[in-house]
């Protein structure tokens, strides 16, 4: 993929940290060596769904490889369906659940779609959150 992007002169980036499987399982998490994980920069938003997107082998376009639902069926809707991705992105990237009102949002390094995958995989909170254990007002 890197060579393909370079051949076309396209800007590209690589994601180094392994995330839970797209189906929500934690199978990939034990393979992460904590000493090699990079500290994430504070998440201040991204271009997912606005200037970039992900397409799976079945023609479903989503905002990124992490935030795959909801998606747009490109086979059915064609390229005009991509226009819906910006609204989907805005909804998915908004802080939700236990992250709503968190006092550490300004220094949080994890986007909400990734938080959702970690939660579904029952990953340790410290994997994706600065709070080392659940907060009382959230865990009830």
CA 137, chain centre distance (Å):
25
125 contact partners, CB below 8 Å, separation of at least 6: 131, 132, 133, 134
Per-residue pLDDT 10s for the chain (140 aa) are 678 778 888 887 665 555 655 555 665 555 555 555 566 778 888 889 998 899 888 999 999 988 999 999 999 999 999 999 999 999 999 988 888 888 888 899 899 999 998 888 888 888 888 886 665 555 44
Report how far residue 26's alpha carbon sits from residue 32's, in angstroms, rounded to the nearest whole number. 11
pTM, whole model, 2 decimals? 0.68
How many helices (H) and strands (E) the chain has is answered by 5, 3
């Amino acid at each position: 993929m890197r060579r393909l992007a370079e051949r076309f002169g396209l800007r590209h980036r690589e994601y180094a940290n392994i995330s839970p499987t797209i189906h929500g399982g934690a199978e990939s998490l034990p393979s992460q060596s904590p000493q090699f994980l990079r500290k994430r920069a504070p998440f201040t938003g991204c271009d997912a769904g606005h200037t970039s997107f992900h397409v799976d082998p079945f023609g479903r376009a989503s905002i990124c490889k992490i935030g795959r639902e909801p998606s747009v069926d490109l086979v059915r809707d064609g390229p005009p369906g991509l226009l819906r991705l910006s609204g989907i992105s805005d909804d998915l990237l908004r802080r939700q659940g236990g992250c709503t009102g968190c006092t550490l949002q300004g220094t949080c390094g994890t986007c909400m779609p990734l938080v959702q995958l970690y939660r579904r995989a029952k990953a340790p909170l410290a994997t994706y959150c600065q709070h080392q254990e659940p907060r009382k007002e959230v865990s009830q």
